[in-house]
Amino acid sequence: MAMATKVVIPFYLSTSTSSKNPFLRYPQYKPSFSDFQIRCARRSVRTGKKRYPSEKKKLERIQKPLDDVKNKEEGFWRLSKLNVPVHKDPGKDDLSVSLGLLEAIAKVLEFPVASMLPPEAFTVVRKSIDARKLLKEPKFVYTVHMDVKKLLDLLPRTWDFISRLEPKLGLVEHFPEEKVSGDLINIVYDCKQIKEVSQTSKSRPKVAIVGSGPSGLFASLVLAELGADVTLIERGEAVEQRGRDIGALVVRRLLQEESNFCFGEGGAGTWSDGKLVTRIGRNSDSVLAVMKTLVHFGAPPNILVDGKPHLGTDRLIPLLRNFRQHLQGLGVTIKFGTRVDDLLVENSQVIGVKVSDSRQKLHADSLKLGFDAVVLAVGHSARDTYEMLLSYNVDLAPKDFAVGLRIEHPQELINSIQYSALANEVRNGRGKVPVADYKVVKYVDEDDSGSSSKEWSRSCYSFCMCPGGQVVLTSTNPSELCINGMSFSRRASKWANAALVVTVSSKDFDSHGPLAGVEFQRVLERRAATMGGGNFVLPVQTVTDFLENKLTVTSVPPSSYRLGVKVAALHELFPAQLTKALQRSITMFDRELPGFISSEALLHGVETRTSSPVQISRDSNTYESTSMKGLYPIGEGAGYAGGIVSAAVDGLFAGFAVAKKLDLFQGSIESVFGKAQKNTGFVKY
């Protein structure tokens, strides 16, 4: 078969008459599916180190033969995938053992009368909803722990049924004893091995944590609990002032470049949906420790049970305040509104940082602070930090990430698509079923040959879906436009939004070097700002126009974005191959979610900061930079996490690694939490 002719799209540097900032302009080109065919590619099977932790565990369970249970009447049984139809369940917020759940348990035990089973013998450990179209009706799916001793004490006649119970892979599992894990504070207290004599004989090691996102907060917590003298440095403001700065942006269009949706206490995830989903193992000890620590600081306990836990901005703010007060009680010095401008380096080792007041444009009143270790926990928007590291020849490498557009539908439409007749049970987040969301992933093939080789395959997927949410501005520079979505805990808004993004790599970038991905982001963000006409107005386009490469609709559906929208040709925003991939994937999404392509659906531009475009090289055991001693890059900004939970876990492990290097911890972190999961920093949720 003859290879297709490749379409090369040049771009030019031009100057806008309405802006002093130059931007890269793509020539007007209206692509046609006939000249560059995109096929649906077969989903590649992850193998070896590329498997997700959950996939590795599943494979291990399959390969490992099930052992015979000798003492079935002792310990606990985990009963999974217990299905309860929605009409038999008390609802999403009820975690009690209902009669409908007892019926599902009785079916597994082959017990004849479900109502006789004592609810006290069972504990719900996971609850989610399954509303797939292939089902006759939506159902709640449970995982339950059965306390055998309690069950036999309350209902002795169940002994005969338990004796016949056999383990089934992923469905019925036996544990000699229930594994109880605590929050991080109690875990550190239990494993702490600091000798009182050593504390008095020498001064405590001084550690700087740069960034107060999830990784920075959890690293600070571990190190402070283990006895380090911790200084937490945050360029943004505390959540109270940060909220006021965001209010000024939304109401008066005043962007504080150091205190906004990206920068400030809690990191970028604070003013988002507060999703706590993760791919690094929901039941792992480290993830459970993070989740229970969040509960300790004020998160609702149901995040430990919910199949898709989330907090919402309104719950994150008081949680972060409690977290801060606990750190201060441990003696942590917290410097808000303080920007790290430079490192203090001697003999290729970091010995401190140079800081200034981030509220001041000029770095006139800089201050030098000495430390024994510097933990770099900046977010993926700290582009000036990447440039500073590059000036010291710190090893940086470009990393794959994803870019795209944020689509918004009426929430009632998404409820109807997902729940059909049950849509009226949502009731603005107060009903029996959760506000409907979705997650779609498709692979498109850009090769005319029909092969599905990885070289030509792109992943297109929904990212950070915010049911009952709103579109928000996440720009950190007034000449650039980028967006995200956010929701409050109840998810009661009348809109649903999600980013539709496509993966990009170094082959897509027009520049070279470690920061080529950063420059690629900037080009798209500046072009979006020009399309919007300035003043933080977003360029938007209906889905139908985007798919047909035209701009015919001048009146668009209403948007949740509060700073205004302007109709624009978003199909000309990206290089043609990315536009084509997005167009093809949207068509495929509509087959999975009929009605997704709708006259009420509106695309907003542009979403570029899905994950870090850079990875800072570090040692996998010590977490120390491979090119700069004393520097510990962690979290999402360093390219080792994607999302709140994985970033927090990375900070947790890094905290122990730094403590061990400083002789504050002599134990083995693996004996406490198991082996740290490898995370590429590439996230899909």
Of 100-109, 290-299, 436-445, least confident by mean pLDDT is 436-445
User: Do 440 and 580 lie in a common domain?
Assistant: yes
User: Do 393 and 405 lie in a common domain?
Assistant: no
User: Do 426 and 461 lie in a common domain?
Assistant: yes
In sequence order, what are the residues at sequence separation of 6 or more whose Cβ sits closer than 8 angstroms to the Cβ of residue 156? none
Model pLDDT, residue 180: 72
199 C-beta neighbours (distance < 10 Å), count: 12
Place of tokens 């498997």: 51
From residue 267, give the alpha-carbon distance in Å to each of 146, 242, 458, 469, 513.
39, 11, 29, 19, 27
Model pLDDT, residue 17: 40
pTM of the model as a whole: 0.88
Model pLDDT, residue 11: 42
What backbone phi and psi angles, to 5 degrees, belong to 314?
-65, -30
Residue 491's region, left for phi above 0, alpha for psi from -120 to 50, else beta, is left
pLDDT in tens, 566-579: 999 999 999 999 99
Rounded distance between C-alpha atoms, residue 427 and residue 491, angstroms = 10
**Do 325 and 313 contact (CB within 8 A), yes or no?**
no
Rounded distance between C-alpha atoms, residue 317 and residue 314, angstroms = 6
Model pLDDT, residue 60: 58
Among residues of the chain, what percentage have pLDDT more than 90? 74
pLDDT in tens, 210-242: 999 999 999 999 999 999 999 999 999 999 999
User: Do 514 and 542 lie in a common domain?
Assistant: yes
Model pLDDT, residue 552: 85
In sequence order, what are the residues at sequence separation of 6 or more whose Cβ sits closer than 8 angstroms to the Cβ of residue 419? 131, 138, 425, 426, 433, 436
pLDDT band, very low/low/confident/very high, at 36 (cuts 50, 70, 90):
very low
* 162-190 average pLDDT score: 88
Model pLDDT, residue 34: 40
Model pLDDT, residue 134: 72
Of 92-106, 194-208, 320-334, 566-580, least confident by mean pLDDT is 194-208
User: Do 457 and 470 lie in a common domain?
Assistant: yes
User: Do 425 and 442 lie in a common domain?
Assistant: yes
User: Do 563 and 648 lie in a common domain?
Assistant: no
C-alpha closest to that of 606 among 452, 514, 485, 483 = 483
User: Do 472 and 585 lie in a common domain?
Assistant: yes
pLDDT band, very low/low/confident/very high, at 499 (cuts 50, 70, 90):
very high
* 135-140 average pLDDT score: 87
Rounded distance between C-alpha atoms, residue 310 and residue 300, angstroms = 10
pLDDT in tens, 254-272: 999 999 999 999 999 999 8
Rounded distance between C-alpha atoms, residue 464 and residue 408, angstroms = 12
pLDDT band, very low/low/confident/very high, at 49 (cuts 50, 70, 90):
low
Tokens, residue 83? 């299905």
Winning range, highest mean pLDDT, from 192-206, 350-364, 421-435, 479-493: 479-493
Model pLDDT, residue 59: 59
User: Do 238 and 106 lie in a common domain?
Assistant: no
CATH code of the domain in which 656 resides: 3.50.50.60
* 368-394 average pLDDT score: 97
Whether 193 shows a pLDDT value over 60: the answer reads no
* Residue 452: inside a domain: yes
User: Do 440 and 384 lie in a common domain?
Assistant: no
Burial call 381-398: b when 16+ CB within 10 Å, e when fewer: bbbebbebbeeeebbbeb
Model pLDDT, residue 550: 94
**501 DSSP β-pair partners:** 404, 461
**Do 139 and 147 contact (CB within 8 A), yes or no?**
no
In sequence order, what are the residues at sequence separation of 6 or more whose Cβ sits closer than 8 angstroms to the Cβ of residue 386? 396, 514, 515, 518, 614
Place of tokens 């470049």: 257
User: Do 263 and 158 lie in a common domain?
Assistant: no
Cα of 37 vs its chain's centroid, Å: 33
Last residue of a domain, one of 581, 607, 633: 607
* 115-123 average pLDDT score: 97
Whether 19 shows a pLDDT value over 80: the answer reads no
Q: What total number of domains does the chain contain?
A: 3
From residue 508, give the alpha-carbon distance in Å to each of 399, 503, 576.
12, 10, 11
pLDDT band, very low/low/confident/very high, at 23 (cuts 50, 70, 90):
very low
Model pLDDT, residue 71: 85
* Residue 349: inside a domain: yes
Cα of 259 vs its chain's centroid, Å: 21
* Residue 218: inside a domain: yes
Provide the domain limits for residue 145. 76-175
What backbone phi and psi angles, to 5 degrees, belong to 163?
-65, -25
User: Do 207 and 285 lie in a common domain?
Assistant: yes
Report helix, strand and coil shares of the chain as percent, to nearest 5: 30, 25, 45
Residue 482, exposed/middle/buried by CB under 10 A (0-12, 13-18, 19+)? buried
Rounded distance between C-alpha atoms, residue 569 and residue 576, angstroms = 13
Q: Which stretches of 392-494 are DSSP H helices?
A: 411-419
* Residue 645: inside a domain: yes
Model pLDDT, residue 333: 98
